[in-house]
Structure 1
Amino acid sequence: MAKRAVHRRARKILGEEPVALVWCEIRTRIPTPPKDVHRAAGKGRLKPGHHWLLYVGAVVFFFVVIPMMLIDKLSDPFDWPRRSRRDRRPRAAEPDNRRQDPTNGVFDGDWNLTAGQLLLHWYGHSPNPKRLVMLGRDRVCIATSPRRRLSPTKADDFRTVAEFPLDQAHVEGEAGQPRGFATFRLRFADGSWLEVGRLAEPEDADHFLRTVSA
């Protein structure tokens, strides 16, 4: 469960004890918006930032792992022709589910409505993918930390980046979802919606889903 510092910060932001809160993320990449829409929104980033260790790992992979793989392949001259012939065999076409759903199941698809506009500025507020959704008695707040890395149990520097009264936004979710696959939707008054998942802290997630499904 989130530490006392997280709840203390949430209470300070809301001015009351939160009804429920949970850290969450967009489950997959943000779809690519039309260029004119992206430009009108300030051309903000559409991908999260990465920790420096990821770049170190990439460098090691390209300069150490790949050369070793090539050396291993070239070390057997008799096996190389067989591999080449096998690689030239036609492969069965694989279905591309992303073409069937250009939104990736992230939102309703209209960039001009509330959910789309929220996505256009999602990573502009913070390169970190985690967002804290807090439920008050009369509003829904979305907060984030400016840091690239944070611990969902200890973060205490997050700030509100979006706030909606309950007549403009509400949360839809089901209790008892399998751990690791649980999701919920933020649905807005204009009919748009945004789906998030990767819910952190099991106790917070279970309480949050029970609250919104009641």
Structure 2
Amino acid sequence: MAKRKVHRRAKKILGEDPLALVWCGLRKDIPTPPKDVHRAAGKGRLKAGRHWLYYIGMTLAAAIIIPYFLADQLMNKIDWLLSSKRDRQAQARQRAARETNGQAPGATDDDRSRRPAPAHDVFDGDWTLTAGQLLLRWYGHSPNPRRLLLLTRDRICLAASPGRRLSPTKADDFDIVTEFAHHEGRLHREPGQRHFFVHFADGSWLNLGRLAEPEDAEPFLKTINA
């Protein structure tokens, strides 16, 4: 749960006590924008910065996992070569039957039903509007993916901490990077969901999630639904 120094810092940069605050982030990675749009926005970072320990961990994991993966693939290949011709023919007949029925190999009705709806995207898709422009500069304010969302009586504010490392419960070095009056943006949550949308006056929207601990998230979600 966010501690006193987080609330003290929030009050200092806002000039008032926030009605609610919560650490959150993008629900997905930022999609790749068109090159001309990215260039016009200053060609800023589109991915989160990583601490050096992350790269050491990835290197160690690769040293262990890759040999295991290659050995597993080799065993699978050997098993396939040793399988009977009759089994392979049966598999071929099954694939042919699926293709005849108009279904892609390996696809099922359940797979098609799980295709993400537009509401699962990170934003509305128009890079020229408010949400798209905000995404283009998201990591320019901070390489850390987390943002502190602050609500006041007349503003919606996003604050960021400048470093790669961040303790959401104790951070006290964050600053406001963008803010909107209530007539410029509004928050909306689908019933039963932990993520929420920021809808802007120009029709664009941003999908935010990865909320902090329930002690912070639940009061925040109750506030925006009140």
Structure 2 length as normaliser, TM-score? 0.80
Percentage of pairs with the same residue: 59
- Establish whether residue 129 from structure 1 lines up as the match of residue 145 from structure 2: yes
Q: Which has the larger radius of gyration?
A: 2
After superposition, residues 15-94 of structure 1 pair within 5 angstroms as 15-71=15-71, 79=79, 81-82=81-82, 92-93=106-107
After superposition, residues 1-214 of structure 1 pair within 5 angstroms as 1-71=1-71, 79=79, 81-82=81-82, 92-93=106-107, 97=115, 105-174=121-190, 177=192, 182-214=194-226
Cα 1:195–1:77, aligned 2, differ >3 Å: closer, same or farther? Answer: closer
Q: Which moved more, 1:136-145 or 1:89-98?
A: 89-98
Q: Any unmatched runs of 5+ in structure 1?
A: none
Shift in Å at residue 60 of structure 1?
Answer: 1.6
1:171 touches 1:212 (CA, 8 Å); kept in 2?
yes
Q: How many residues align?
A: 206
> What is the distance in 2 between the residues matched to 1:52 and 1:97?
35
> What is the distance in 1 between the residues matched to 2:68 and 2:212?
38
1:3 touches 1:153 (CA, 8 Å); kept in 2?
yes
Shift in Å at residue 192 of structure 1?
Answer: 1.1
Aligned residue identity for 1:127: P
Shift in Å at residue 81 of structure 1?
Answer: 2.8
1:143 touches 1:161 (CA, 8 Å); kept in 2?
yes
Aligned residue identity for 1:189: A
Shift in Å at residue 198 of structure 1?
Answer: 0.7
Cα 1:77–1:29, aligned 2, differ >3 Å: closer, same or farther? Answer: closer
How far does the alpha carbon of each residue in 1:2-33 deviate from its partner, in whole angstroms, 9 at most, with x for none?
10000000000111110001100101111111
1:174 touches 1:209 (CA, 8 Å); kept in 2?
no
1:128 touches 1:148 (CA, 8 Å); kept in 2?
yes
Q: Secondary structure at the match of 2:215?
A: helix
Shift in Å at residue 203 of structure 1?
Answer: 2.0
Aligned residue identity for 2:19: V
Q: Secondary structure at the match of 1:70?
A: helix
Aligned residue identity for 2:182: L
Aligned residue identity for 2:8: R
Shift in Å at residue 38 of structure 1?
Answer: 0.6
How far does the alpha carbon of each residue in 1:107-135 deviate from its partner, in whole angstroms, 9 at most, with x for none?
11111111110000001111111000000
> What is the distance in 1 between the residues matched to 2:82 and 2:68?
20
Aligned residue identity for 2:58: A
> What is the distance in 2 between the residues matched to 1:34 and 1:2?
38
Provide the aligned C-alpha RMSD in A. 2.7
1:174 touches 1:210 (CA, 8 Å); kept in 2?
no
> What is the distance in 2 between the residues matched to 1:77 and 1:162?
54
Shift in Å at residue 67 of structure 1?
Answer: 2.3
